[in-house]
Structure 1
Amino acid sequence: MFSGIILISWLCFLPGTCGQIWMDMTPIKQLVKAGGSTTLACTVENLGNSHVMWFGPRNDLLFRGEDPIISDVRFSLKRPYSNSWYLVIKNVKIGDSGVYKCQVRYPTTLTKNITLQVQVAPRILPSSSSEDQHVQEGSEVNITCEATGFPEPKIMWHFVKGNTETQLDTGPHLSISNISREESGIYRCTAYNTVTPSATQDFKVDVEYAPIIIVKTPELSQKSGRSAVLECSVVGFPKPKYNWKKDNKILVRDWNYEPQNIQQNSTTTVMNLLIKQAEPPSGFGVYYCVAENKYGEAIGNVTLHEITTTTTTTTVSPTTTSTTTESTTTLSTVPSTQISTSSLPSTSTQKSQTSPSQTQSPTTSKSSTVSPRTTSSYRPLVTSGPGYEINLPGDQGNSSAGVTFPSRTIFILVLTIFLTF
């Protein structure tokens, strides 16, 4: 009997015994991904005639007992056991975050607090972020990327060039000082937290600068009446205005000139000028390619030379020499005095020693004929008597080839002195 009284007294100290209301009032935090479903658990013992009430984050009454007060069908009550009062929320939204209260007010007020944290994937806020920008080369650029989500997202920046991404900085603000044309491109903002997927936003930055002109072939040559194509490459942004000039006049499309602009990419254009028929004097000379945008002007030039054909004829009797020369711009002819020696006739005869019985064949040319000459070791003898002429044995072919007048005079003088003594 006494032991029974002790057992009953001990049981009265247990939660929910002896008619006393008991509730698990341990506060908890509960995470749920937006769009998913969650169940908030509340257990009450010995409720009796009291009612379990659920309150929302704004202290609005959701359920009183099993009766729904809220009209939102996403909220419902689930009771798998007699002491279970579970609040079920489907298709959870970010606005459902906050503290929910399970409460019993009679005879005493018991409350269980459940903090619901709705996890939201990052989302970039366009209204609080920058737009695409056009900036001048050398200026400072600031780009802002604001994002929302839970937990609070972190921001990472990348520079995208083709298929390559280069990591830059973190945080919602990106600053670039003294920006160059090579830094034109896409700047990508990535917002991420523990919830997938992450969010990205691309910001295009176009760096503007004055045009420059590159001339690969500054000089060309062509014959009169032929066609020619002149070329200049232009790099600049924004897209410049293009034109060709000659003699301070802009060349427009007509029967002879056809300007052609070929866009290679967003910053590079090839300027071609087709000259259908180059005629002197206006068709040849210096042509100017001009490109201009709001930041400046660039000028290049291409010189078109004329290929001329000059024929120079020089006559040296009895040979006539004709020379044809092609030249460009500055005519070049061969002077009449510069004649190749191989074109002149041969007028000399070569001497050779032969025996008296041998006869040398004569050497002839167009201009003259020379008789052959025979030489020997014979010398004249001095004899007495009057002065006379002595023919050399080797001079039979030429009767006039005797002793010359000066020789005869000396011979007579020597003979006279000899006879005197």
Structure 2
Amino acid sequence: MLVHLIILSTALAAANTGKHGGVEVPEFGEPITNLTVPIGRDATFECIVVNLGNFRVGWVKADTKAIQAIHEHVITHNPRVSVSHSDHSTWYLHIKNVQEEDRGQYMCQINTDPMKSQMGFLDVVIPPDFVPEETSGDTMVPEGGTARVSCKARGVPPPRVMWKREDGMEIVVRDQTGAKSKVLTYQGEVLKLTKISRSEMGTYLCIAGNGVPPTVSKRIHISVHFHPVIQVPNQLVGAPLGTDVTIECYVESSPKSINYWVKDPGELIIPSEHHVMSVRQKSMFEAEMTMTIKNIRREDLGSYICVAKNSLGDVESKIRLYEIPGNDRHAYQYPDVRATSDDEYGNNAYDEDDEDIDSMKSNRVPDRANKWYSNDGKVTVMTATGASSTITTTTTIFLCLIKSLL
């Protein structure tokens, strides 16, 4: 059909001129430029002809031999195809909303005898996209197990896939021998994390690109599950009566645990103005649980248990709260002994003879006695000659001394 149309056009041109010879032969002014167009955009081929005269220009899709247009008339039934020209020298083939099937060779023809033609190639590129049925979703794995996540991407040209952690931390990968290495990015559609630890838990980004914008990414969260663990920085906490004290436990668990406090032997503590509780999430699997006991009373002394429970088990740890004597501080004036500041207590001299004058002492524990207690039971004694010596006493002996002062 194409040949017949070209012959017909040639015959018409010859009829119009009345001769086959003596006519300037048309030529192509320059080669057709190849086009690379993203899918959905518009493409326009340009064919420049010199001395066209009464000859005709046609457009053909070479790989399918489908005639697109002859001169100013569109032949194809594709509504996205149109033609135009400028001064009968520059001829255009327009393809709107380019689709993948439009890729191929396009021929610009002049109906001379023999026919003259030149071709240009239309390459349709497609930005990357993920294949949903071959791309992983969020994954859960026990600690020490293997997490395998994949991202299958399509596009033209074929996209490359890389992985990185959303938090910017390094990815831990192991080869077949078990050798471990850390990388900021990992290339490949499949990411395999063996002997996974809790520190590898987090969101991983799968990124696909092929040079055709936009680059696409997918967030895949890897959860590492493990039994709760509690760390207690201070298992023995002392405070004077009437003050506030805060006890704390550090919890690691995944999935997140239910955290609460119990007063030994098993009394659940309810948050109140007296017991102020908080849980601060430090990371995906780390939490700091604290409880502040306001205005400590004697009945508050004893053991407290912090408990953490999740679906994999539970754990608890004990903290003992004891009284530090001498909360009610005031300056006790010893007879014939100068008053000293807190900064001087560490080197203060105490006259043994003053122990015999109980009637002159206050009925409260002297502040300096508290300093002695906090100095590991070491009492500095001033002798009659003015020399000082250090006597190491046990807590029991010192408490007896305190009682004698009351």
**Retained in 1: the 8 A contact 2:55–2:110?**
no
Bigger Rg, which one? 1
In structure 2, which of residues 285, 299, 317 is the aligned counterpart of residue 300 of structure 1?
A: 317
Question: TM-score scaled by structure 1?
Answer: 0.58
Q: Where do residues 2-401 of structure 1 align in structure 2 (5 Å cutoff)?
A: 30-34=34-38, 35-39=41-45, 41=47, 52=58, 54-55=60-61, 61-70=67-76, 74-80=80-86, 86-101=92-107, 114-126=120-132, 128-162=134-168, 166-224=183-241, 226-246=243-263, 247-254=265-272, 256-280=274-298, 282-308=299-325, 332-333=396-397
> 1:44 touches 1:85 (CA, 8 Å); kept in 2?
no
Any idea what SS the aligned residue of 2:34 has? strand
- Alpha-carbon distance in structure 2 between the residues aligned to 1:180 and 1:54: 62
Contact 1:40 1:88 in 2 (8 A): no
Structure 1 unmatched ranges of 5 or more: 1-15, 310-318, 337-421
Aligned to 1:332, what secondary structure does the other structure show?
Answer: helix
Deviation, 1:98, is 2.8
Instruction: In structure 2, give the amino acid aligned to 1:332.
Output: T
- Separation in 2, partners of 1:335, 1:142: 64
Contact 2:305 2:317 in 1 (8 A): yes
Give secondary structure in 2 for the equivalent of 1:142: strand
The answer for unaligned runs of 5 or more in structure 2 is 1-19, 172-182, 327-355, 375-393, 401-406
SS for the counterpart of 2:154 is strand
More displaced 10-residue stretch of structure 1: 284-293 or 179-188: 179-188
Q: CA deviation at 1:83?
A: 7.5
Distance 1:109 1:146 in 2: 48
Q: How far 1:302 sits from its partner (Å)?
A: 0.8
The CA deviation at 1:136 is: 2.5
Q: 1:197 Cα deviation (Å)?
A: 4.5
Q: Alignment identity in percent? A: 26
CA contact (8 A) 2:141 2:224 kept: yes
Question: How far is 1:287 from its partner?
Answer: 1.0
Once the two structures are TM-superposed, the CA of residue 73 in structure 1 deviates from its matched residue by 5.9
* Residues 82 and 304 (structure 1), Cα distance of their counterparts in 2 relative to 1, 3 Å cut: closer
- Shift in alpha-carbon separation, 1:131–1:152, aligned structure 2, 3 A: same
Change (3 A) 1:47 1:133: farther
CA distance in 1, matches of 2:399, 2:294: 36
Separation in 2, partners of 1:30, 1:82? 22
Q: Say if 2:37 and 2:122, in contact at 8 Å, map to a contact too.
A: no
Instruction: Give the TM-score, by structure 2 length.
Output: 0.60
Distance 1:164 1:41, change over 3 A: farther
Aligned equivalents of 2:89 and 2:155: distance in 1?
37
Tell me the distance in 1 between the aligned counterparts of 2:154 and 2:169.
28
Give me the whole-angstrom Cα distance separating, in 2, the residues matched to 1:287 and 1:173.
Answer: 48
